[in-house]
Structure 1
Amino acid sequence: MSSASTAADLPITDRAQLAAYLQAGEKPRADWRIGTEHEKFGFRLDDLRPPEFDGERGIEALLKGLTRFGWEAQEENGRVIALLKDGASVTLEPAGQLELSGAALESVHQTCVEVGSHLNEVRQVADELRLGFLGMGFQPKWRRQDMPWMPKGRYRIMRDYMPRVGSLGVDMMTRTCTVQVNLDYADEADMVKKFRVSLALQPVATALFADSPFTEGRPNGYLSYRSHIWTDTDADRTGMLDFVFEDGFGYERYVDYMLDVPMYFSYRDGIYHDASGQSFRDFLDGRLPVLPGALPTLRDWSDHLTTAFPEVRLKKFLEMRGADSGPWSRICALPAFWVGLLYDDAALDAAWDLVKDFSLAERHALRDGVPQHALKLPFRGASVRELAREALKISIAGLRRRARLNGNGADETAFLDPLLEIAEAGQTPAERKLELFHGEWNGDIDPVFRQFAY
């Protein structure tokens, strides 16, 4: 066992270690990186159903097939449930949604190459298994009971707990897909400023990426139903985190928040111990009912940080969580948008000037209204579309000053083109699909799997 692993498995003896864990994410600007994650729905080409885990055409067969490209298989209870390679991973969401968690890269150019390579590998193996993959925010056709479950211990615990705290948590687990980006901070003050800007503008990302207008083959009345799902999943671990905008916010205050988030589990000796609804504060005192007398480790704390689902999440980096999944071009657009806003000082200042006087009521109105209305949501005498256009201008300027060039001498601004088109047209991807549904698709959802598959 490595020394790092040994340290992670030592008992926590001082609450200060929890804040120090977050502080350990601080990096000098030269070491700031971009980590991009995206999820996608698998479907069988013959009947469009989501593939099960088992079987010749199952998700495990897909994962095993991907090992030909140098991925190292990771097992749980003898079953392949993940892949690792060069700082990246391929993992499974609860219903088999396939996720690429990308490596920490220096530029959006590298991110887009990484995503393209991954999608190409998946396509090669999926073609052999007669499978396809679709990027959208919510499963457009199949019912909750039609979705399979992957054999991962933490998902069993979450599946049993979710109905106790909200009506849509199981749908969040099984029928949603997102694209996210993880970004670094220099110190606590930098983290706070980036957290506030990204939290206030997260509804803009939700609007630009809105692509989940169907439920069980019919329009659901939303443009980002995925975003709406989070409003009735689990109030203890979701939302806009109003305390982030309060004076004195920092690592310690986020620790307080996380200590109030109920636990899901503690993973020990290859076993997920069901601690759902129990308190990490009690764990710190050795009074966790499921593990009496045991103290948490930094590995437990790291796991616990992944069980909160606010619009922006702090771990050893900041994670932007507001966007529906989509095609390759929009997967690349999300890191470009946030890197342009947050990795250039002048852009970060301009973005803060844009949002610093938003009231609590305005922030919540944006969060609550965007899932249904997206860019057309009224805001301050105009609409979210105008707010999005202003944010995009700031991001473009930030990327230009950043001046990370590819081999052809082009900077990263081109990756924002899909978002600029959406903002200029005032039409989200969801609204485009609704036009097709009511037009050439003649009210049939099945064509979405052919026209928008990777």
Structure 2
Amino acid sequence: MSNPSDHDETPVTSVDDLVSVLSRGCKPREAWRIGTEHEKFGFVRPEAATAERRAWSSPPWEPQGIKALLNSFREAAPESWQPIEDKGEVIGLKGVGTEKGCSISLEPSGQFELSGAPVATLHETREEFERHFAALRGPARSLGLGFASLGFHPLETRDERPWMPKSRYAIMRRYMPEVGAYGLDMMTRTCTVQVNLDFASERDMVRKMQVSLALQPVATAIFANSPFREGKPSGFMSGRAQVWTDTDNARSGMPDICFRDDFGFRSYVEWALDVPMYFIVRDGVIRDVAGRSFRKWMAGERQEGLEDVQPLVGDFEDHLTTLFPDVRLKQFLEMRGADAGSPEMMLAQSALWVGLLYDETALSAAEALVREHPWSDYIALRAQIPRTGIETPFGSGSVRDLAARMIGIARDGLRARGLKDASGRDESVLLAPLEAIAAGGPTQAQHWLERYDGPWAGDVTRIFPEAEV
């Protein structure tokens, strides 16, 4: 989840003001960029374990934990990172200089997230990955820590997970159990990777939203990387995706409005207005207004915690960050359906969506692909994918067959972009791990289950050194 940002204090006078928040995201093709965000779980390395710090357990906030890591990361490159504070605590870092456009934020249990800078090519995304992991390893190891990118924590219970001192998380921690069974698991025990992509116009946004939302369950299957829970197989290929089937469903999933013929910026705003709020920010302080209605606030109806303030554009922008559909619309589109995984797989996730959505011929082919089935089939698929993953039956074949067609379209789209690295390779080279899966190879989840039944002899802790980034 994002760090605090600048707050637009323009008063909201109508729904049109909110529609304009989204429409300002329209950009000409030459200005389209790629922004990749990825999370990972920290763990205590065995050589640094003590009676208080068990091997493979999660680092606390302090001592010798996430707080120290943030400070050490910043001190190692003060010219590149500035602190982001919440009530006097450094809870994130803002990139400057060579890291301008990047930020580091914390998920509720200390999952360490890089929000990458908007870049023009996937080759730059790869370079950013390499730079980030190299910069993280030194400070982490000096504290006896390592990091593994997995979709669901394979070992710890919800109660064993630490909590970070971030104000909005305290609000969500109180509210989440009221609106779903797995909200606290989502907050504390999951990691994801997402890519943020641009659109040229409202019509372009609609096309990209409908294609990517319909195919998000397929992406979930391809990138499934969380088959363990509390030290043993959970019965799911993606425990992270299973958690999202009952996490505040009023703001999650695949909203029907996105598939309607009249879908656009206004209909998304109207949907957002009826999703309960979490918080607002005034004078740098986060107020708990969980469950209140933005629509009623705009209409002037009295609601506890909102009596003395009027809605501002910045409040709506904050509200948009608390919506969790599988593809989220802000001033860009966020692909949110994948488990965190190996660096190669997380790069491939960005490559998949760039290939599908950033070339006109590929986008048209992807539209034709999804139109072979009604939208309801993809919504139903979302419920099946967490358990059976890539092997889930679909149409006359399986999701693996659909994935192969999807990956083929993306490959053509990336080749059409024709953007090459210093070695003369175009961006389609980053799809290699997905092409192996499409050809019948194991997904990450299937690979880990094979390891569990084979050389690990049922010891799930073996996943940490093998998944370390």
CA distance in 1, matches of 2:329, 2:466: 36
Deviation at 1:406, TM superposition (A): 1.1
| Corresponding letter in the other structure for 1:20 | S
SS state of the match for residue 365, structure 2? helix
- Point out the more displaced range, 183-192 or 66-75: 66-75
- Select the residue among 231, 235, 256 that pairs with 1:221: 235
Would you say 1:26 and 2:26 are equivalent positions? Answer: yes
- Residue 50 (structure 1) aligns with: 58
User: Where in structure 2 are there 5+ consecutive unaligned residues?
Assistant: 50-54
CA contact (8 A) 2:288 2:305 kept: yes
Alignment of 1:276-355 (within 5 A): 276-286=290-300, 287-355=302-370
User: Is it true that 1:39 corresponds to 2:2 in the alignment?
Assistant: no
Instruction: Report the AA paired with residue 427 of structure 2.
Output: E
Question: TM-score when scaled to structure 1?
Answer: 0.97
Q: In 1, distance between residues paired with 2:446 and 2:372?
A: 31
Supply the AA of the counterpart residue of 2:35.
G
Structure 1 counterpart of 2:432, from 409, 417, 435? 417
1:304-356 CA distances to partner (integer Å, 9 max, x unpaired)? 00111111000000000000001111111111000000000000000000002
Report which stretch shifted further, 73-82 or 126-135. Answer: 73-82
1:269-280 matches, cutoff 5 A = 269-280=283-294
Per-residue CA deviation, residues 412-454 of structure 1 (Å, 9 max, x unaligned), is 0111001111221242110110111111111111111111111
| 2:213 aligns with one of 199, 210, 213 | 199
Counterpart position of 2:260: 246
The 2-side partners of 1:238 and 1:347 are apart by 28
SS of aligned partner of 2:257: helix
CA contact (8 A) 1:134 1:452 kept: yes
SS of residue in 1 equivalent to 2:439: helix
Q: Give matches, 1:41-440, under 5 Å.
A: 41-45=41-45, 46=49, 47-55=55-63, 57-67=64-74, 68-69=76-77, 70-85=80-95, 86-286=100-300, 287-440=302-455
Offset of residue 35 of structure 1: 0.5
Give distance in 2, aligned partners of 1:285 and 1:103.
38
Partner Cα separation in structure 1 for residue 62 and residue 138 of structure 2: 19
Aligned residues: 449
What is the letter of the counterpart of residue 79 of structure 1? E
Tell me if the contact between 2:214 and 2:375 (Cα under 8 Å) persists in the aligned partners: no
Per-residue CA shift, 1:59-94, capped at 9, x if unaligned?
011111111222111111111100011011000000
Q: SS at 1:236's partner residue?
A: helix
Larger deviation, residues 313-322 vs 289-298: 289-298
Contact 2:91 2:105 in 1 (8 A): yes
Cα distance in structure 1, aligned partners of 2:438 and 2:173: 37
Quote the sequence identity (%): 49
Distance 1:298 1:87 in 2: 22
AA partner of residue 31 (structure 1): A
**Alpha-carbon separation, structure 2, partners of 1:146 and 1:337:** 35
| In structure 2, C-alpha distance between the alignment counterparts of 1:111 and 1:66, rounded to whole Å | 20
**Cα displacement string for residues 9-57 of structure 1 (whole angstroms, at most 9, x for unaligned residues):** 12111220100000000000000000000000001113111111121x2
User: Deviation at 1:209?
Assistant: 0.3
For structure 1, which segment, 23-32 or 112-121, has the greater mean C-alpha deviation from structure 2 after superposition?
A: 112-121
- Determine the C-alpha separation between the residues in 2 that align with 1:103 and 1:360: 33
Q: CA RMSD in A?
A: 1.2
SS for the counterpart of 2:286 is strand
**Could you say which residue in structure 1 is the equivalent of 2:52?**
none
Aligned 8 A contact 1:60 1:80 in 2 = yes
* Amino acid in structure 1 at the alignment position of 2:333: L
Higher mean alpha-carbon deviation, 317-326 vs 8-17, is at 8-17
1:406 match: secondary structure = coil
Per the TM alignment, residue 361 of structure 1 is displaced from its structure 2 partner at its CA by 3.0
Deviates most, 102-111 or 242-251: 242-251
Relative to structure 1, the CA distance from residue 444 to residue 5 in structure 2 (aligned partners, 3 Å threshold; closer, same or farther) is: closer
Supply the distance in 2 between the matched residues of 1:373 and 1:342 (Cα, whole angstroms).
Answer: 27
Q: Cα 1:329–1:18, aligned 2, differ >3 Å: closer, same or farther? A: same
8 Å Cα contact 1:288-1:294 kept in structure 2: no
Alpha-carbon distance in structure 2 between the residues aligned to 1:278 and 1:237: 14
**What are the Cα deviations for residues 395-416 of structure 1, in whole angstroms up to 9, with x where unaligned?**
0000000011111221101110
Q: Report if the CA contact (8 A) 1:375-1:426 is conserved.
A: no
Post-superposition offset of 1:382 = 0.3
1:294 Cα deviation after fit? 1.6
1:444 and 1:310 map into 2 onto residues whose CA distance is 35
What per-residue deviation string (whole Å, max 9, x for no partner) do you get for residues 106-130 of structure 1? 0110011111111111111101001
Provide the rounded CA distance (Å) in 1 between the counterparts of 2:13 and 2:257.
27
Residue 288 (structure 1) shift? 3.5
Residue 357 of structure 1: CA displacement? Answer: 3.6
Q: Kindly indicate whether the alpha-carbon contact (under 8 Å) linking 1:19 and 1:255 is maintained by their aligned counterparts in 2.
A: yes
In the TM superposition, structure 1's runs of 4+ consecutive aligned residues that sit over 4 Å from their partners are: none
One-letter amino acid of the structure 1 residue matched with residue 85 of structure 2: E
Is the partner of 2:36 in helix, strand or coil?
strand
Moved more, 152-161 or 362-371: 362-371
Which letter does structure 2 place at the counterpart of 1:244? Answer: C
Distance 1:449 1:324 in 2: 16
Instruction: Give me the whole-angstrom Cα distance separating, in 2, the residues matched to 1:196 and 1:354.
Output: 12
- 1:17 has 2:17 as partner: yes
| Cα offsets for 1:159-214 (capped at 9, x unmatched) | 00010011110000000000000000000000000000000111111011000000
1:211-232 Cα offsets, whole Å, 9 max, x none, are 0000000100000110110111
1:98 partner amino acid:
F
Residues 145/5 of structure 1: CA separation in 2 closer, same or farther (3 Å cut): closer
TM-score by length of 2: 0.94
Is the contact between residue 414 and residue 426 of structure 2 (CA under 8 Å) also seen in structure 1?
yes
